[in-house]
Structure 1
Amino acid sequence: MKLTIHHEEENEVRLLYYKLIEAWNNRSAADMANLFQDEGNLIGFDGSFIEGQSEIGKHLATVFFDHPTASFVQKIRKIQFISAHVAKLHAIAGMVPPGGKDINPAVNAIQSLIATKENDVWKVALFQNTPAAFHGRPHMVEEMTEELQEELTENSRAPEGAQGF
């Protein structure tokens, strides 16, 4: 039996991810946490495992308070539906340091998101941000950085409010 997913469902999952990235870039712990299920999970770049929407909010508030966080530049690679109410998203991301213009290749990441639809609303069940070190394969780091830098350049030319969307 083939799963039929409508284009608008894919767009809703894409928008959920973009809202997550936007909340990070705006340093809004509350906005970011509100995108998660009550029992959602966050796995940070450093391996931190945070469980539950309220704990995610507390964790992020501390991160944003204690650190001048870099902004994400992202590119969605694939969205796949596991069922009509469960989707997984795979993306690559780079970070631009505060006050910077270019991506810092040392913190490139692979991002995975599992989204579930409850009461007609898509929520994050799991978001994982994994370092993309590509040990022993520096050309892969360079290729990924170049691709993300192109996204950054394209987004800087987009009309205001259209970046990444």
Structure 2
Amino acid sequence: MHEKTSADEAAIHELFEKLLADWCRGDGEAYGSRFTEDADYVAFDGTLIEGRAEIASSHQKLFDGFLKGSRLTGRIERVRFLGPDVALVRATGDTVMPGKSRPSPERRSIQTLVAVRRDGEWRFAAFHNTRVRPIEGGFAAFLLWALTDRLWRAFGPGGAARG
């Protein structure tokens, strides 16, 4: 493991804050610019998006459609440097939908990101987003998990309601 520097950690935090701000502005191009050209992006539903251009394009479609006017909130929980130019980042995130003042609990996510420094600049080379769905939280938590899982299978891409 590599010893972190406060400047590097601050740069990674700033990169993450810019990512959140880009989302809140609905700017897919800026959002995509926070990633490397060859980045891997795994969305909460398991969809894989490859490359900066596709990340920008797919997010602009979301910002212009279903997520128009939404806000992304989040924070970095931990930065662990794996080398002088590579860091593993764990963050949390919540999407606040239009007209709402707080995120819905079912939109709470945890993310794992890989930040890399190339030509003196930090960008994300990988992003993996997972919705928080603890099933050990009692019967009510299990019901919420089971219901959202069933709805996703029914109405998500490839679900019976779409096909």
Same fold? TM cut 0.5? yes
Counterpart residue identity of residue 51, structure 2: G
Residues of 2 paired with 1:6 and 1:107: CA distance? Answer: 33
Matches within 5 A, 1:32-51: 32-51=31-50
**What's the counterpart of residue 155 of structure 1?**
none
Residues of 1 paired with 2:58 and 2:52: CA distance? Answer: 10
**What's the counterpart of residue 104 of structure 2?**
104
Superimposed CA distance per residue, residues 96-140 of structure 1 (whole angstroms, 9 cap, x where no aligned partner): 21111122001110011111000000011011211101123269x
**What's the counterpart of residue 20 of structure 2?**
21
Residues of 1 paired with 2:11 and 2:119: CA distance? Answer: 14
Counterpart residue identity of residue 76, structure 1: I
Task: Tell me the SS of whatever aligns to 2:117.
Answer: strand
**What's the counterpart of residue 53 of structure 1?**
52
**What's the counterpart of residue 135 of structure 1?**
135
**What's the counterpart of residue 78 of structure 1?**
78
RMSD: 1.8
Contact 2:40 2:50 in 1 (8 A): yes
User: Does 1:119 pair with 2:119?
Assistant: yes
Residues of 2 paired with 1:56 and 1:75: CA distance? Answer: 21
Alignment length, in residue pairs?
A: 139
Residues of 2 paired with 1:19 and 1:61: CA distance? Answer: 16
Are residues 54 and 18 of structure 1, via their aligned partners in 2, closer, same or farther at CA, if it must alter by over 3 Å? Answer: same
Counterpart residue identity of residue 60, structure 2: A
- Name which one, 1 or 2, has greater alpha-carbon Rg: 2
Are residues 97 and 56 of structure 1, via their aligned partners in 2, closer, same or farther at CA, if it must alter by over 3 Å? Answer: same
Are residues 138 and 115 of structure 1, via their aligned partners in 2, closer, same or farther at CA, if it must alter by over 3 Å? Answer: farther
The percent identity for this pair of structures is: 24
Matches within 5 A, 1:146-161: none
Residues of 1 paired with 2:56 and 2:133: CA distance? Answer: 28
**What's the counterpart of residue 150 of structure 1?**
none
**What's the counterpart of residue 93 of structure 1?**
93
Counterpart residue identity of residue 55, structure 2: I
Counterpart residue identity of residue 25, structure 1: C
Counterpart residue identity of residue 35, structure 1: R
- What stretches of structure 1 of length at least 5 have no aligned partner? 142-165
- What stretches of structure 2 of length at least 5 have no aligned partner? 142-163
Query: 1:5 offset after TM fit, Å?
Result: 2.2
